[in-house]
Amino acid sequence: MSRQKIDKLLVINSGSSSLKFTLFSMATEAMLARGLIERIGKPSANLAYWCGAGTRTNHPISADNHGQALECACKILTDDSEGVLKALNEVQAIGHRVVHGGEQFNAPCLVSDPVKSAIMECAALAPLHNPPNLGGIMACELVFPGIPNVAVFDTAFHQSMSQSAFLYAIPRKYYDQYHIRKYGFHGTSHKYVMQATAAFLKKPVEALKLITCHLGNGSSVTAIDGGNVIDTSMGMTPLPGLVMGTRCGDIDPAVVLFLARQGMMPDAIDDLLNKKSGLLGVGGIDTGDMRDLVDAAAAGNTSAAMALNMFGHRTAFYIGGYFSLLGGADAIVLTGGIGENCAPARKKIVERLTAIGCILDEAQNTEVRGRAGVITTKASRTPVIIMPTNEELMIARETFKLLNDAPASQATASKAL
């Protein structure tokens, strides 16, 4: 398929009960439309839709499964009043977010039966994500017969880590038999902001050492040297690393054993650490949303203030460690909902980074929101840059590049090891 023939490209992010879709014109990388279908399988299912830069419209829908949800998305994309397509056959390629690619995928690949089998095999490592990701792919194969589908993996970008970084200090047989190791996540976001920061600094990626921080409900930090990942804070699953919205991040593994010995069942421990901990668990205000915690802390809530301080402490801890591993950094990059928009949370991080030459510019920190900008003073040895992420556009770019650069027969998975 030649470069000139691909223009309309659809990006799908299929969750357990949701489906996000974004339509791009790759000639200009313009976002033509996007939507979010939530509560699939429930009577309250809803489709939120944006046509270009237009305002959001909401549409109650009936969608018992992801196939029906995709049909609803297709219907509004071709709607006479709100749609941007005259017919579905205008869509020429589809890119899919797949959370876990294990060691089998270090790059995007064209979907085939073996690739689908491999995605399902990785479901043991991401049981909440890979099955719905695969469901979205299979739904697209039915609705868009003959259109190429490309899988873009959250874990792929991190496959450049060395064994000394990704192995755990347990007997090697557990890695060999069960593939227990660090994989890392948010790779699509980290790769996007790496490239965007290089453009912002007007330097090639290969010449840069960056520490990228994806800070949202899920958060992770990645050390990048010349485009290669040296280390990242998430592990075999997205649980370890930073203090997140509902995830505890790093914790003594003996805590899990202690809770089990108190009679707590594995599923209950999993639920505690993934869904009831982090900012939600510490903040004490029944929400893990950073905006609510900032407001509560400003109003004098000491638990919320503690959560905010823990978030800053843990993030700065990882940044400092990665600064040392890299032998310095050209920039610290903050992205994600918190990184792009929450000045108080950013302050809690940067004020702990004076030892590596980051001096917060209070005015810039307040002013820079949702756009690229520097929030440290000109005298800082290491700048902190705010860089908005765009995972959907990165998936579109990866899909477009794969289909244009290689014949379908060559667009296959490659081994990381």
215 and 146 in a single domain? The answer is no
* Residue where a domain stops, chosen among 159, 175, 191: 159
260 and 357 in a single domain? The answer is yes
18 and 152 in a single domain? The answer is yes
264 in a domain, yes or no?
Answer: yes
142 in a domain, yes or no?
Answer: yes
Predicted pLDDT at 5: 74
Predicted pLDDT at 417: 29
172 in a domain, yes or no?
Answer: no
341 and 216 in a single domain? The answer is yes
Predicted pLDDT at 406: 60
- pLDDT (average), residues 323-335: 98
344 in a domain, yes or no?
Answer: yes
191 in a domain, yes or no?
Answer: no
Name residue 93's beta-bridge partners: 9
pLDDT mean across residues, the chain: 94
385 and 237 in a single domain? The answer is yes
Give yes or no for residue 405 having a pLDDT over 90: no
What's the CA gap between 127 and 397, in Å, rounded? 27
- Inter-axis angle of helices 302-326 and 290-298, nearest 10: 120
Predicted pLDDT at 202: 98
What's the CA gap between 22 and 97, in Å, rounded? 12
Q: What's the pLDDT tens digit per position in 367-396?
A: 999 999 999 999 999 999 999 999 999 999
Is 154 an annotated catalytic residue? yes
Question: At which residue do the structure tokens 């908005």 appear?
Answer: 388
The beta strands (E) that lie in 18-110 are given as: 19-25, 30-38, 46-51, 57-60, 93-98, 109-110
Give yes or no for residue 213 having a pLDDT over 60: yes
238 and 372 in a single domain? The answer is yes
What's the CA gap between 338 and 242, in Å, rounded? 13
Q: What's the pLDDT tens digit per position in 216-272?
A: 999 999 999 999 999 999 999 999 999 999 999 999 999 999 999 999 999 999 999
Q: What token pair was written down for 407?
A: 């014949």
Q: What's the pLDDT tens digit per position in 17-42?
A: 889 999 999 999 999 999 999 999 99
Q: What's the pLDDT tens digit per position in 91-137?
A: 999 999 999 999 999 999 999 999 999 999 999 888 888 999 999 99
Catalytic residue from among 154, 231, 330, 361? 154
Within a 10 A sphere around the Cβ of 401, how many other Cβ atoms? 15
287 and 381 in a single domain? The answer is yes
What's the CA gap between 336 and 351, in Å, rounded? 19
Q: What's the pLDDT tens digit per position in 37-74?
A: 999 999 999 999 999 888 899 999 999 999 999 999 99
29 and 91 in a single domain? The answer is yes
- Report residue 407's pLDDT band, with 50, 70 and 90 as the boundaries: low
11 and 121 in a single domain? The answer is yes
Give the contacts of 388 (CB within 8 A, at least 6 positions apart): 196, 335, 340, 370, 371, 372
User: What's this model's pTM, rounded to 2 decimal places?
Assistant: 0.92
Task: Using a pLDDT cut of 70, give the percent of the chain over it.
Answer: 96
Lowest-confidence pick of 14-18, 212-216, 329-333: 14-18
Q: Which of 321, 318, 328 is nearest to 209 (CA)?
A: 328
Predicted pLDDT at 410: 44
The beta strands (E) that lie in 363-410 are given as: 373-374, 384-386
CB 227 within 8 A of CB 197: no
192 in a domain, yes or no?
Answer: no
122 and 267 in a single domain? The answer is no
238 and 149 in a single domain? The answer is no
15 in a domain, yes or no?
Answer: yes
Domain count, the chain: 2
Q: What token pair was written down for 247?
A: 């995830």
CATH number, domain containing residue 61: 3.30.420.40
DSSP code, position 355:
G
Planar angle of CA 128, 134, 136, nearest 5 degrees: 105
Question: What range defines the domain where residue 283 resides?
Answer: 205-391
141 and 260 in a single domain? The answer is no
